[in-house]
Amino acid sequence: MGNREDLLAGARRCLEEKGWARTTVRDITAASGGVSMAAIGYHFGSREALLNAALIDAIDEWGTETGRTLAAFGAEGAAPAERYEAMWDRIIESFSTHRTLWLASIEALIQAEHSEDLRRYLAGAQAQGRLGLAAILNGVEEDAVGVEAARSLGAVQMALLSGLMTQWLTDPDQAPTSADVVAGLRELTRIVGPDHP
């Protein structure tokens, strides 16, 4: 690997181990095998730009893996509610197995206030997430998902995911299980009732 790749790998390790705010230039150079501090400026312009790039790489990799995992949720022939609950089992499991990335994504939201490039990237990633979740739940390819499905079904799933993630990262012992999510949605359906013309 060259200096640029070493810096990205080192920055990613720092994000996973220390988080955004606590990572220093010195931490990154140490984690990247002693690449000089000046190389950060040469390749990325700033510590923040390097951390943005490392975070985007990590989120892209994690998003691809998560998409593959969720596309295969539930047992063949299972009822839709069982498959939906199995999907949430996988998502909840990822809160432990990929905890550092989930935490880094929260930090990225805060950093996006100071980086238009990062904000645009995250907005695009959210749009892609809404589309992907709507496609998975409808059992279709992403190009078959309509704008309305992405804005309603996909957006609600993203909201559930964000809320569940913060609860699991804060207090996993009290956070809802996949069965709780399904039961809660059934209750909401009872309260909201069927759609009326």
In a domain, 133, yes or no: yes
Length of the chain equals 197
Mean pLDDT throughout 129-153? 87
In a domain, 9, yes or no: no
pLDDT tens digits, one per residue of 40-51 = 999 999 998 999
Report the share of the chain in percent with pLDDT over 70: 94
- Total domain count, the chain: 1
Q: What are phi and psi of 122, to 5 degrees?
A: -65, -40
Give the residue among 160, 113, 119, 153 at the shortest CA–CA distance from 136.
Answer: 153
Query: For residue 46, what pLDDT is reported?
Result: 92
Query: For residue 178, what pLDDT is reported?
Result: 94
In a domain, 20, yes or no: no
CATH number at residue 125: 1.10.357
- Domain of 104 in residue numbering reads as 55-191
In this prediction the pTM is: 0.78
In a domain, 34, yes or no: no
pLDDT tier, 80 (very low <50, low <70, confident <90, very high otherwise):
confident
The region of weakest confidence among 14-18, 57-61, 65-69 is 65-69
In a domain, 129, yes or no: yes
In a domain, 5, yes or no: no
pLDDT tens digits, one per residue of 151-174 = 899 999 999 999 999 999 999 999
Separation of alpha carbons 157 and 70, rounded Å? 13
Whether 167 and 176 have beta carbons less than 8 Å apart is answered as yes
* Residue 179 in this model has a pLDDT that exceeds 90: yes
Rg (CA), the chain: 19
Return the structure tokens found at 17.
Answer: 């181990």
In a domain, 16, yes or no: no
